[in-house]
Amino acid sequence: MPTLIQGGRLVLSDGPVVGDLYIDQGKIAALGGDLSHLEADRVIDARGKLIFPGFIDAHTHFEMNAGLPNETADNFATGTRAALAGGTTVIVDFATQDRGDTLARALDTWHSRADGRCACHYAFHMAITEWNESVRREMADMTAAGVTSYKVYLAYDALRLGDRAVYEILEEAKAQGALVSAHCENGDLVSAGVARQKALGHLTPAAHPVSRPAGVEGEAVERFLTLGEEAGAPVYVVHLSTARGLEAARRARQRGQEVYLETCPQYLLLNEDKYQLPGFESAKYVCSPPLRSQGDSAALWQALAAGEIDVMSTDHCSFDFDGPKQLGREDFSAIPNGMPGVETRPVLLYTYGVAAGRLTLTQFVHLLAEEPAKLFGMYPRKGVLAVGSDADIVIWDPAWTGTISAATQLQNVDYSPFEGFPVAGRADTVLLLGETAVEGGRVVDSGLGRYVSRGPSLGTRRL
Ligand code: URP
Ligand code: ZN
Ligand code: ZN
């Protein structure tokens, strides 16, 4: 059924223009100017609204650790529904290899958790936790299955890889046109830091950031970039949290390296003072890397404004406070790491970035849609308002105001790290392949999400 969206401010790749957008058979069929001569079954009056390509969250963890006591609060059904309500139309989650097992089995497991349950579109990165020749051969199968990005962990003993493995994965991924991302913390230093805090009898959440200071990230970013340089491969740093890591990336770029950076709202809007809250409240903010200083956040905001950061994701990894987070009451290192955010990323970046005058609408759309689409092999199908692109569209009401609260969120978790934050704007209407999924800010259809098989990574910083 052809749909005409009339009179909105279309946020195109090179800036906003007022005009119409016409959708036919799930695709954008025409855009710009007055399209009222085109026949439509449905006309949406979007005067006063902003029209964005659907937002992409390239970093979520839904239904992680299934079966263990520290299971995530959000599964694919609840997580993608919350994402959709905020205007996110594609999430990319992390299928994770079990050590001793294959990538194929990990991909099957994640498909079995997500298929038929997602309210927004979804795709998978592949996290490699054990490296050998048979895993190398499997990477070609992953490419064929539409998985064109990998993650390696430099921390977490159950997941991390050594430098040689990371180097060889980078080489193979390059040959496959795939992108490798890394969780950059020095795992040995984290282990030493945790042991030291425990030996000192520091067992509350206040010890968490002390056990993994900025240098732990700085060293790992530097090392990952060096491995990328030696492999001649592009690199993507997930959840960058420090000025130190940023400076390492700047140096590598000056050397001519292709480096991509991702950060998340929590590293911009929350700081390490959250670890000084009374009682056990600080456990809500235990994530890795930890929240940092105000100086780090200021450096990240500056880098965003200067176009040095490519992608804004969430690292949504939700654990109930009155649930798995309590596992660490007597020992901070047993607190499951992570916090929720998939629902609130667009409105937080709009409020504290665009409305606050720190970012332009074009930068907003690049960070939330266009760059992740390019880097993760979905462009121009996703991530842009262009003729021929999928009609995953957000009609944004910039005049709406509200307050973030766990009481009203769709995220299936018992707290919000952004509780009480005033926000401006909201996703009023969201279309998935031209079908209405959100109307008046409410999810009206949660059965429209489809798997996104992805192509090669399109490196926008390639020289
Ligand atoms: O604390 C976090 N970030 N948990 C999720 C896993 C990861 O490190 O990305
Ligand atoms: Zn991580
Ligand atoms: Zn993560």
Q: What angle do CA 439, 64, 169 make, to 5 degrees?
A: 110
The chain-wide mean pLDDT, for the chain, equals 97
List, for residues 134-149, the tens digit of each pLDDT value.
999 999 999 999 999 9
- Is the Cβ–Cβ distance between 34 and 22 less than 8 Å? no
Exposure letters 382-394 (e unless 16+ CB within 10 A, then b): bbbbeeebbbbbb
* Cβ–Cβ < 8 Å for 450, 435: no
Pairing, β 259-263 against β 235-237: parallel
Structure confidence by residue, pLDDT tens digits, 356-391: 999 999 999 999 999 999 999 999 999 999 999 999
- pLDDT for the residue 66: 54
Q: What is the pLDDT of residues 309-321, one digit of tens each?
A: 999 999 999 999 9
Residues of the chain above pLDDT 90, percent? 97
Would you say the CB of residue 266 lies under 6 angstroms from ligand 1?
A: no
Ligand 1, residues 60, 183, 288: which to mutate, most atoms within 8 A of Cβ? Answer: 288
Cβ neighbors of 403 (< 8 A, separation 6 or more) are 420, 421, 422, 423
> pLDDT tens for residues 171-198?
999 999 999 999 999 999 999 999 999 9
Phi-psi sector, 438: left (phi>0), alpha (psi -120 to 50), beta:
beta
Instruction: Write down the pLDDT at residue 303.
Output: 98
Residue (of 348, 338, 372, 146) closest to 261 by Cα position: 372
Q: How far is the CA of 3 from the centre of ligand 3 (A)?
A: 37
pTM: 0.98
pLDDT tens digits, residue range 405-425?
999 999 999 999 999 999 999
Q: Which helix (H) or strand (E) holds 11?
A: strand 3-12
Task: Give me the pLDDT at residue 70, please.
Answer: 75
Q: Is 33 in a helix, a strand, or coil?
A: strand
36 vs 4: CA distance, rounded Å: 8
Q: Which residue has the tokens 């991302």?
A: 181
Query: Percent of the chain, pLDDT > 70?
Result: 99
Enter the tokens of residue 85. Answer: 């309500």
Instruction: Decide if pLDDT at 128 tops 70.
Output: yes
CB 42 within 8 A of CB 56: no
Burial of 92 (C-beta count, 10 Å sphere; 0-12/13-18/19+): buried
Identify the residue whose C-alpha is closest to ligand 1 atom 9. Answer: 315
> Which atom of ligand 1 has the smallest separation from the CA of 156?
8
Q: Is the pLDDT of residue 274 over 80?
A: yes
User: Whole-angstrom Cα distance, residue 30 to residue 45?
Assistant: 16
Residue 337 Cβ < 6 Å to ligand 1 = yes
Q: How far apart are CA 185 and CA 198, in angstroms?
A: 19
Before 289, cis peptide (omega within 30)?
Answer: yes
Residues 6+ apart with CB under 8 A from 390: 26, 27, 28, 54, 381, 382, 433
Taking residues 347-360, report their average pLDDT: 98
Assess whether the C-beta atom of 58 lies below 6 angstroms from ligand 1.
no
Which burial class, exposed, middle or buried, applies to 33 when counting CB atoms under 10 A from its CB (0-12, 13-18, 19+)? exposed
Cβ–Cβ under 8 Å, residues 260 and 234: yes
The span from the CA of 257 to the CA of 233, in Å, is 9
What amino acid is encoded at 178 in this protein? A
Is 225 within 8 Å of 184 (Cβ atoms)? no
d(CA 141, CA 340): 32
**Residue 151 Cβ contacting ligand 1 at under 6 Å:** no
**In ligand 1, which atom is closest to the CA atom of 288?**
1
Kindly state if the Cβ of 434 falls inside 6 Å of ligand 1.
no
The pLDDT of residue 462: 87
According to DSSP, residue 173 is labeled H
What is the C-alpha separation between 437 and 441, in angstroms, rounded? 10
Residue 238 and residue 217: Cα distance in Å, rounded? 11
State which ligand 1 atom lies nearest to the alpha carbon of 155.
8
267 neighbors 299 (Cβ within 8 angstroms): no
Distance of CA 75 to the CA centre of its chain: 16
Local confidence band at 1 (pLDDT 50, 70, 90 cut-offs): confident
Q: Is the pLDDT of residue 458 over 80?
A: yes
Tokens found for residue 128: 């490699």
CB 369 within 8 A of CB 361: no
Indicate the DSSP class of residue 337.
Answer: P
Residue 272 gets which letter from DSSP? G
Cα(239) to ligand 1 centroid in Å equals 9
Per DSSP bridges, beta strands 88-96 and 55-60 are: parallel
Q: What is the pLDDT of residue 67?
A: 57
CA distance 397 to 48: 7
**Which tokens hold the place of 422?**
């005033």
Q: What is the pLDDT of residue 223?
A: 98
pLDDT digits (tens, 9 = 90+) for 245-270: 999 999 999 999 999 999 999 999 99
Q: Is 287 in the pocket of ligand 1 (CB under 6 A)?
A: yes
338: Cβ below 6 Å to ligand 1?
yes
Triad 134, 137, 138: Cα angle to 5°: 90
Q: Exposed, middle or buried: residue 306 (CB in 10 Å: 0-12, 13-18, 19+)?
A: exposed
